[in-house]
Amino acid sequence: MIRRLIPALLLLSLGASLWAFELPGNLPKPTAEIKRFQLDAISLRDVTFLFELAVKNPYPVNLPFSGMTLGFTVEGARVFTAASQGGFTVPANSEKSNTFTVTLEYAGIIKLVKDYVSKDWLNTVIDGTLVIPLPKLPGLPANITFTYSLSKKIPAIKPHLAILNFRVLPPTQQQVADAIVEAGRHTDPERALGVFKSVLAGRPPAPVIDPADLDVPLNVSFTLEIRNDARGPLSFNKLGYVLNVNGEKLVTGESTGIVREKGRDLVTITNTFSSKQLSRNVRALFSQRRGTFAVSGKAAIKFPDEIRVDPVPLDFSEAGSFSL
């Protein structure tokens, strides 16, 4: 069960304590334990935490409950309270676990935490309360309550993403000639190459051929700048990406050409796309010398072991505009 909550972020090391109210006499009571609490994933805009809640039901009837109430405090500021997280039903005389995630957005934290951009890590406390209604059996109260306190640090992130040095190279005349033959056309390759050069330079082409009618490979290169205007760590060694330009998918791939400097990662990307993708929207990028982009990326970030021993998945989608 995933709930998107606004705001807050956390990184993790599990430190939970719980208390249960005593039931009268020697009557059995349920137990409720948080078995796992970890940073599950992160993006440039939010962080997702994973909780595993285990409940033991000692009664001969099912034990349903709606879930936990979770209060999030970051750097001393109460940023959010969420109810009904991770509820489920425990069958009679058995134990059951449920795993659920909670996603907290950075935007709300930025508004509430003073001097946010000067911070690298954010101290975060999660106070949890679980109220389980008890069956209507003689001697049992209406419910039993458990409380928990979890504390972790999360990275401070205030992202900025940009596309720099975007460039598409014209094909060779031989590449154009091969595509003309493959398409069964009889256009002069030299004149057809002139059309490609004009389109990519943003000039009106001669009415020789539509580049989108041919399958000519076009080489594109650009730099993806991923900057953190706060001081939290945001570094990775490999990035999978999908780039859309003016609303249309252009290239997808993976890059290891990453240079880190002054709080930013510069990801060098080279790829190839077909001239069949030179639609009206894509051509507008060259004629207007500017356009919009949407880029999604996948990577893994290694935080200190006290946060999480294995790398944390980074998954983001960002959009903006750029110029040639």
Residues 129 and 221 both lie in one domain:
no
Residues 181 and 303 both lie in one domain:
yes
Residues 142 and 269 both lie in one domain:
no
Strand partners, 144: 132
Amino acid identity of residue 252, one-letter, is T
Q: In the chain, how many domains are there? A: 2
pLDDT of 25 reads 56
pLDDT of 3 reads 43
For residue 186, the domain's CATH number is 2.60.40
Q: How far is CA 4 from CA 59, 86, 104, in A?
A: 34, 13, 6
Structure confidence by residue, pLDDT tens digits, 277-319 = 999 999 999 999 999 999 999 999 999 999 999 999 999 999 9
For residue 91, the domain's CATH number is 2.60.40.10
State which of 157, 192, 216 marks the end of a domain: 157
Task: Give the end-to-end CA distance of the chain in Å, rounded to a whole number.
Answer: 44
Residues 49 and 37 both lie in one domain:
yes
Residues 139 and 208 both lie in one domain:
no
Domain interval for residue 249: 160-323
Residues 108 and 171 both lie in one domain:
no
157, two tokens: 């992130």
Region at 122 (left for phi over 0; alpha for psi -120 to 50; beta for the rest)? beta
pLDDT average, residue stretch 204-209: 92
State which of 136, 157, 178 marks the end of a domain: 157
Residues 103 and 123 both lie in one domain:
yes
State which of 135, 157, 179 marks the end of a domain: 157
Over 90: is that where the pLDDT of 15 sits?
no
Closest CA to 124 of 146, 101, 104: 104
Q: What is the pTM of this model?
A: 0.83
296, two tokens: 């999604």
CB 124 within 8 A of CB 112: no
Residues 239 and 299 both lie in one domain:
yes
Residues 208 and 114 both lie in one domain:
no
DSSP state letter for 45: S
Half-sphere exposure in the Cβ direction for 176 (13 Å, CA): 21
Residues 192 and 129 both lie in one domain:
no
CA dihedral 138, 139, 143, 147 (to 10 degrees): -150
**Cα–Cα distance between 205 and 194 in angstroms, integer?**
8
Residues 171 and 212 both lie in one domain:
yes
CA dihedral 285, 290, 295, 301 (to 10 degrees): 140
Amino acid identity of residue 120, one-letter, is D
Residue with tokens 């069956």: 135
**Cα–Cα distance between 110 and 75 in angstroms, integer?**
11
pLDDT of 4 reads 41
Residues 78 and 199 both lie in one domain:
no
pLDDT of 263 reads 81
Please report the DSSP string for 234-245 in residue order. ---S-EEEEEEE
Over 60: is that where the pLDDT of 10 sits?
no
